[in-house]
Amino acid sequence: MRQNSDDPFVFDFAPMCGPIVMTPELKKAMQAGLEQRQPIGHIIRSMMNARLATFTDGGFRNSSEAEVWRRSGVKAIQVTLGGLEIDPSGWDGYIRDLAWYLRAEQCGGFLRLCRTADELEAAASDNVLGVLLGTQDAAWADRKFDRIDTLYRAGVRVVQLTYNQRNLIGDGCSEPANAGLSRFGTAFVKHLGALGVIVDVSHSGERTSLDAIDVATRPTAVTHAACRALHDHPRAKSDDVLHAIRDADGFFGVVAIPHFLTDDPHASVDHIIRHVDHAANTVGIERVGIATDWGGVTPDMPSQMQQGAKDAFIAAGFALHEVPPLGEALIEFDAYEKWPSITAALQGRFSPEETAGLIGGNWLSFTRRTLEASH
């Protein structure tokens, strides 16, 4: 299935299911949670439930949120189970999120859960947001693999091995020891390959990333990161990892979080282009994409909730100095509906065919050779 050239397929990484578009209903839910001094995750959960309530019976299509998505041009996203509560390792949050997405799928054309590239394209053709379910940690994994089997049956197709901290699989990017994949981690990665699940090492440490790419039976992804050669941040990947991704025919997604891209206080979309250019020269442009990582720290997070969000990221494994400044954004991309500014910047540096790949086509190719191929 091929998209119309005037309406390109745009894929993004948006762990909280896209932007928070404040409505009277969401504001009421937020105020109630703040007055009751609820944890940030509970408040966001209440807001997201209020969001769905307004979409019932087709309410989404005429909503202010639908207009944001239309202007963004984004056709499909990968989300994070546990992301709605900013708790990427909590199993209970995964189950609650699964229930939320299943309910959202029934709410009048808001989104459609997808498992393959064809399903993502079909959702775009039907003017419905395609959603690929993923995780940003596997601390929940059990040694019998029952939980990952359950998630796979529920539709999860991307599993990040670690968040920033260490788990039984390996080390996250914030761990000073930089240990590699454990024996259990090796077995887990191989099990993901047998199922047909994408292995993601975006937040994993250097040695864990390299080990996972080496033992994986399918091409591995760095779904959302940056290039350490341009900016030395724990969330960035070394050229050694990029070379390994290239050799494994994997995928590398570049974020739009200024703190991960540069120390420049006036960060712009040009900084994304620099990282894309370096990744293209190192990994191969056909293996590179855009993955903004919009959510949680971005300007749409209400100011009253920003401290709670910061505390949640620290609890999840970010060291204090690693947490991006709350509300920070690239100059041209300070609202989700300004996503086309990224496309325009890419068009100024790359050919039309290369740009189409970078904004979504390369991800579709990667999912086809990873999720749908026999290994």
Nearest to 189 by CA among 365, 14, 375: 375
**Residue 3 predicted with pLDDT over 50:** no
Lowest average pLDDT, out of 7-11, 32-36, 107-111, 268-272, goes to: 107-111
CB atoms within 10 A of CB 183: 8
pLDDT at 373: 63
Distance separating alpha carbons of residues 79 and 88, to the nearest angstrom? 11
**Residue 129 predicted with pLDDT over 90:** yes
For the stretch 139-163, pLDDT in tens is 999 999 999 999 999 999 999 999 9
pLDDT band at 109 (very low <50, low <70, confident <90, very high): confident
**Residue 314 predicted with pLDDT over 70:** yes
DSSP SS3 for 181: coil
Give ∠ CA 256-197-134 in degrees, rounded to 5: 40
Half-sphere exposure of 228 (CA within 13 A, CB side): 16
How high is the mean pLDDT of the chain? 95
Structural domain boundaries in the chain: 11-371
DSSP assigned state of 12: E
For the stretch 59-68, pLDDT in tens is 898 899 999 9
Distance separating alpha carbons of residues 152 and 146, to the nearest angstrom? 10
Structure tokens at 156: 């999860």
Predicted model pTM: 0.96
Give ∠ CA 275-281-282 in degrees, rounded to 5: 90
pLDDT at 59: 86
pLDDT at 107: 85
C-alpha 112, offset from chain centre: 17
Residue-by-residue DSSP string for 51-65: HHHHHGGGGGGGSHH
Q: Which residue carries 């999720």 as its tokens?
A: 371
Phi and psi dihedrals of 250, rounded to 5? -90, -150
The CATH class given to the 11-371 domain equals alpha beta
- Contact indicator for 353, 5 with CB cutoff of 8 Å: no
364-368 long-range contacts (CB < 8 A, ≥24 apart) are: 364/9, 364/11, 364/117, 364/120, 364/121, 365/117, 365/286, 366/219, 366/221, 366/250, 366/251, 366/287, 366/289, 367/116, 367/117, 367/120, 367/132, 367/157, 367/198, 368/116, 368/117
Nearest to 11 by CA among 254, 279, 347: 254
